[in-house]
Amino acid sequence: MRRARITYKGAFHHAMNRGHEGKKIFLKDSEKNLFLELLKETAKGYRIRIFTYCIMDNHYHLVLENSSGRMSEFFKKLNGQYGRIYRRENKGKGYVFQDRFKSKIIQDDSYLIMVMGYVLNNPVRAGLVTDFLDYQWSSSSLYFKEDTSDIVDNKYVEALYGSFYNMSDQIRNLTIKELPVILTRVGEIIGGEEFVVESLEKFNRRKPNDQVEEYKRIDDYYFDSVEKVFYEFKKIHKINVFDIDTKSYKGKRLRGELLVYLKDNAGLTYGEIKKVPIFSDLKISSLGWIYKNAKIRLKN
């Protein structure tokens, strides 16, 4: 079972995603520029406030605020759009990104400053540049300028640091190799022990309102609803999921594909999937084998 993702409206996050199997997916300048353009438009569309970004060859980092409460939708759109264009341009198939994005919730401004410095210093730790300001594909050059950035909230960041000297001095002298992370039952937290209780209380006050009660997962609010999976499946294959003829070869393949979507996109366990009528005649032990084979087919 996937770990739930802790967030709430207004929460600060450090988020990242890698290329599938660690592969390089931002090799060309044009690909990095494309990702930045998509980031700008998607953040605007979902009203997500970006503070810092850094694009490396095989992954990216973002520091942001879940200002609209729609962070999961934001990442799904951002990664999905880039993945589709990347596959088309490179004539590839299968997954572009490793998995869902990873995120850690950040306690407050003091930790936010540390995380932003950590992200902007990433190219220095990787040996690509000797100074964070020299890296072209981060937001390091967007602060303490006259203009307001159309990608990051540079004015908020500037207010936190106070001056260009303070910002550059703090980041250059940041020596941590890893962020201080606390593991909880619903994800990772960057902060003190007291923030764990506070953030869990805020998280638990959220109520999902778009999932079927029969299949609802109480520990993760960021999977697609079952109805949405069924709807998207029908759009792609022009058939209602309950009309699939599972006695035919084609029907078995379609059921396998649906199984992957229910597990990966809706986050259902095999026990929950077996409750869906089209899978009720299968043993739970068979579902894992069907899932594995269907996943391979979808990648090819």
What is the DSSP pairing of strand 182-184 with strand 187-190?
antiparallel
Strand, helix or coil at 274? helix
Q: How far is CA 128 from the centre of its chain?
A: 25
Q: How confident is the model at residue 136 (pLDDT cuts 50, 70, 90)?
A: very high
pLDDT tens for each residue of 175-229:
888 888 888 766 788 887 667 666 666 666 655 443 333 333 433 434 567 878 8
Nearest Cα residue to 53 out of 35, 69, 41, 34:
35
What's the pLDDT tens digit per position in 78-120?
988 888 888 888 776 667 887 678 889 898 888 899 999 999 9
Mind giving me the DSSP string for 210-240?
Answer: SS-GGG--TT-S-SPPHHHHHHHHHHHHSS-
CB 151 within 8 A of CB 53: yes
Q: Structural domains in the chain? A: 12-204 (3.30.70.1290), 213-299 (no CATH)
Q: In this structure, which long-range contacts are made by residues 289-292, counting pairs with CB atoms below 8 Å and at least 24 apart in sequence?
A: 290/255, 290/256, 290/259, 291/256, 291/259, 291/260, 291/263
Cβ–Cβ under 8 Å, residues 93 and 87: yes
Q: What is the pLDDT of residues 154-180, one digit of tens each?
A: 999 999 999 999 999 999 999 888 888
User: What is the pTM assigned to this prediction?
Assistant: 0.65
CA dist list (Å): 268 to 83, 166, 246? 24, 48, 20
